[in-house]
Amino acid sequence: MNDFKRCLELGRIVKVSKNEDWIKKELEEAEYDLSRSKASIEKEDYKWAIVQGYYSMFHAAKALVLSEGYREKSHQCLIIALRELFIKTQRLDEKFADQFENAMDLRHQADYGLEYSSDEASIIIEHSEEFLKVIKRILKDNK
């Protein structure tokens, strides 16, 4: 059984009706978190820049997966769904899933290991901006 099917079986990914308002709300949250991440790095608050940058990517990925009629109930299963629904179908370059997974690791390290740096914060912001831009384009093309 592949990871996506396992997430479905465990209820960590669930089938939902496609809802444009919900997708729009997730994209708005992604934009908000990205803007907060940029504000945090300007204040040299690198931990929160990392956390907020990750959540920008999280909400953008969530919007994309919602567009296929699935909702995550696990951060790890969101990455798995992204890979299954968009990487395997070549609608999204694998580097974006890798960057999202790296951001998840950096967020965990910042939140729980209390290890973070300005370089890591800058990288997450850069990746979050590109990730959001690409996801918006995919969603626009899918309409």
Q: What is the pLDDT of residue 85?
A: 96
* pLDDT tens digits, one per residue of 11-58: 999 999 999 999 999 999 999 999 999 999 999 999 999 999 999 999
Per-residue b/e over 43-81, b at no fewer than 16 CB within 10 Å?
Answer: eebbbbbbbbbbbbbbbbbbbbbbbbebbbeebebbbbb
Whether 1 shows a pLDDT value over 70: the answer reads: no
CATH number, domain of 102, equals: 1.20.120.330
Domain extent at residue 59: 3-141
* pLDDT tens digits, one per residue of 62-80: 999 999 999 999 999 999 9
Of all residues in the chain, the percent with pLDDT exceeding 70 is: 99
Q: What is the pLDDT of residue 142?
A: 80
**What's the whole-number mean pLDDT along residues 83-96?**
96
Q: How many domains does the chain have?
A: 1
